[in-house]
Amino acid sequence: MIIAALIFVFSIAAFLQFFIWHCRSILASSRRVELSDRVREVTGIQGGSFGAEDFSRLVQLVRLCPERGDDQGEIRAVGTYYNLLDFFGRMARPAIPRVAAWAEQERVNCSYFAAVALDRRISYSRDLFTQQVADRL
Amino acid sequence: MLGPVDYVLWLASFLLEVFVVVCAVRSKSFLSHLSLNLYMLAAAVVTVGQYVSIQRFGFQSLQYRYYYYYSESLLTIVMFCVIIQLYQHVFVEMNVSRYIRSAAAILLLATAFFSYAVVRENKDHLTSRFVVELGQNLHFCGVVLTYLLWGAILKLRETRTRLIQLVLALGVYFSATAGTYALRNLFPGLQESVLRWVPPLIGTWLPLAWAYTFSKVPEDARLTTARLLVRAR
């Protein structure tokens, strides 16, 4: 019983760490991408960076665009990560402000990831539109 | 009884397991990650076997239960080969493959022996108890090995994104499975309600994450591991 309890505690701690690192490795790929003016225009955010609360709105905008068919999985994974951070952030805010601040920063990264996904979808929509116009001509 | 969700998860994990191999072949990584791809093929065969076993003997049958636990244990042992190969990828420039293989084999034997020693006294339920105990311990060994591998990746400042994501996905899989086994040992009553759903979900996670890595992350993609570490400000 003691061994099972120890294995359980260690496994849960390891699970959380691995899951967070895995999500961060997905987010890291989007951090280097410079956002276009188009996406800032569409989202109404000029110059400044995205806030943690912008994530849901950005994902809604992503869903309005035609699907590229290759980004659904990562958007869903980051969405799960965002919800998990939201939960932990709320739980930690009264007791451990440092953890709450970290969760907030991570949620901002999630928003940036969603903005990059939106940017790619907008480019894809434009390409589709251009292709359709060219086909008609 | 199995419901539509069970069958959907089953089909999804089977298709994803095959998809991982297809992605690896397409990205010309089949041979460089041979153990991983063989594991995925073996997992797909086991998934089909589970389906056949249920259709033939029923979900509550003893035959299915033994097939499930023994095939899981065997798959975990194959997974150790995957970990060994990932270690070899990380330590490729240090020429320590022989030592890695020996250490992993010793650890595997030690785990099997420890599991046997733990349940030796319960001779009336020896077989079923042994497989559950072995499953828990093997998966926990997997957690420890993956954790050490991750430590080595950080220490050696490994930057290959593909390798990093493969290892992290494996860490999520092993820790979630070991935690589920341990929880099942602690609270057997939870098996029928909550814990029944966890193994199929975890079984879908691993091929999903690996398929993502092979299909989305280019071989030459690089990532600074220091950026992944959790830092509370």
Residue B83's CATH number: 1.20.1070
Determine the structural domain holding residue B161 and report its residue range: 4-217
B227 lies in some domain: no
* pLDDT score, position B128: 62
Which residues are B222's β-sheet partners?
Answer: B160
- Mean pLDDT over B178-187 rounds to 86
The reply to whether residue A101 touches residue B228, judged by beta carbons under 8 angstroms, is no
Position B169 scores a pLDDT of 93
Question: Helices marked H in chain B — which ranges?
Answer: 4-26, 34-57, 62-90, 97-119, 126-155, 161-186, 198-216
Mean pLDDT value across chain B? 82
Question: Quick check: is B102 in a domain?
Answer: yes
Question: Band of the pLDDT at B232, cuts 50, 70, 90?
Answer: very low
Instruction: Say if B233 falls within a structural domain.
Output: no
Which pLDDT score, from 0 to 100, does residue A20 have? 87
CB spacing of B233 vs A102 below 8 angstroms: yes
Contact of B164 with chain A, judged by CB distance below 8 Å, is answered with yes
Query: Mean pLDDT lowest for which of B111-125, B134-148, B154-168?
Result: B111-125
**pLDDT confidence tier of residue B39, bands split at 50, 70 and 90:** very high
ipTM, 2 decimals?
0.83
- Residue type for A111, please? S
In a domain, B229, yes or no: no
Q: How many angstroms separate the CA of residue B57 from the nearest CA in chain A? A: 31
The ranges of chain A with pLDDT < 50 are: none
Residues in A closer than 8 angstroms to B215, CB to CB, are 70
Bridge partners, residue B160, by sequence? B222
Which residues are within 8 A (CB) of A38 and not within 5 positions of it... i.e. 6 or more apart? A119, A122
pLDDT given at position B43: 93
Which pLDDT score is estimated for B89?
87
B118, B172, B233: residue with CB nearest A22: B172
Q: What residue spans define the domains of chain A?
A: 2-136
Is position B63 within any domain?
A: yes
Total domains in the fold of chain B = 1
Closest C-alpha to A106, from B159, B231, B150, B169:
B231
